[in-house]
């Protein structure tokens, strides 16, 4: 997994492309009674206008004012007889953006389209406590852990906060969580790393149908092969969270 995708504001494009490629892969391998469909949830999120990395790819201006040549006025204009104006205070508006998050549902077409397995690829809003994305996703997650369906959670984000579990999370930048409906709320967590191939994902189905093993690394590779991220990744510049020494050795042209 390339951590620079997350750091350079490319996550939304990558996430949606990954969901589409994962759906395509699943539908090419699932038994005939199943179908993988893309679902979505929408909510309003408050955007921090002081965070340039966030607003860079969320908002585009409806009106642009271009500079013109010729005499210009700078600063406040006032009559000299007026009292000196108080220095202006820098403030930022509270902006609200509509967020749409996609996920995959594997459904049983033979049983009134029953949801068999839900597959989530986490977004930054899912890992930001206090925001609506955190709360909306937590409700979905709790429903899954109560046994509503099989559940697969894929976290390919180094930033943000992971949710509480009874046991400590693996010391890895990424993970894949798999919960089988019959074992809810117990789940298995597969560590994933920047420096190693991503794990194959077991996709639980309805017993006695065997689980489908989905090669996550091949899916990510297919997304990257069809993208044009190269010029925007800027490997020579630092990122947050910073890379470990082992991760830096995997950078292109690293010594």
The answer to the question of residue 34 being in a domain is: yes
Domain limits at 202?
3-48+93-248
For residue 242, tell me if it sits in a domain: yes
Adjacency order of strands within the sheet including 188-192 = 34-47, 95-108, 114-121, 150-155, 174-179, 188-192
Structural domains counted in the chain: 1
pLDDT at 66 over 90: no
Residue 61 lies in a domain: no
Please check whether residue 237 lies inside any domain of the structure: yes
Please spell the DSSP secondary structure of 90-115, one letter per residue. -----EEEEEEEEEEEEEETTTTTEE
User: What contacts 158, CB < 8 A, 6 or more positions away?
Assistant: 3, 6, 173, 174, 241
57 lies in a domain? no
**pTM of the predicted structure, to 2 decimals:** 0.80
- What CA–CA distance (Å, rounded) separates 71 from 247? 53
CA 167 → CA 30, 170, 171, 185, distances in Å? 33, 9, 12, 13
Give the model's confidence band at 9: pLDDT under 50 very low, under 70 low, under 90 confident, else very high: very high
Task: Quickly state the pLDDT bin for 8 (edges 50, 70, 90).
Answer: very high
pLDDT tens, residue by residue, 137-182 = 999 999 999 999 999 999 999 999 999 999 999 999 999 999 999 9
The span from the CA of 194 to the CA of 189, in Å, is 16
Size (the chain), residues: 255
In a domain, 63, yes or no: no
- By CB atoms closer than 10 A (0-12, 13-18, 19+), residue 81 is exposed
Mean pLDDT over the full length of the chain: 86
Give percent above pLDDT 70 in the chain. 83
pLDDT of 37 over the 70 cut: yes
Dihedral sign, Cα of residue 203, residue 204, residue 205, residue 208? positive
Q: How much is the pLDDT for 90?
A: 87
Residue 227 within a domain? yes
Residue 66 lies in a domain: no
**Is the pLDDT assigned to residue 227 strictly greater than 90?**
yes
């Amino acid at each position: 997994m390339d951590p620079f995708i997350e750091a350079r504001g490319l996550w939304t494009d990558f996430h949606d492309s990954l969901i589409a490629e994962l759906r395509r892969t699943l539908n090419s391998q699932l038994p005939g009674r199943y179908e993988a469909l893309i679902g979505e949830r929408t909510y309003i999120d408050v955007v921090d206008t002081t965070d340039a990395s966030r607003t860079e790819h969320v908002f585009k201006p409806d009106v642009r004012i271009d500079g013109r040549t010729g005499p210009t006025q700078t600063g406040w204009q006032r009559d000299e007889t007026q009292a000196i104006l108080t220095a202006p205070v820098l403030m930022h508006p509270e902006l609200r953006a509509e967020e749409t998050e996609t996920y995959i549902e594997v459904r049983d077409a033979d049983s009134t389209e029953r949801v068999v397995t839900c597959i989530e690829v986490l977004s930054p809003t899912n890992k930001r406590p206090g925001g609506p994305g955190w709360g909306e996703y937590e409700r979905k997650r709790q429903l899954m852990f109560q046994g509503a369906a099989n559940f697969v959670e894929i976290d390919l984000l180094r930033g943000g906060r992971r949710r509480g579990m009874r046991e400590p999370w693996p010391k890895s930048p990424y993970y894949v969580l798999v919960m089988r409906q019959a074992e809810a709320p117990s789940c298995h967590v597969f560590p994933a790393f920047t420096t190693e191939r991503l794990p194959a994902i077991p996709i639980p189905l309805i017993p006695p149908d065997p689980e489908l093993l989905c090669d996550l690394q091949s899916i990510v590779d297919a997304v990257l092969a069809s993208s044009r991220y190269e010029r925007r990744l800027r490997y020579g510049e630092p990122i947050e969270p910073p890379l470990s020494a082992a991760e830096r050795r995997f950078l292109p042209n690293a010594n």
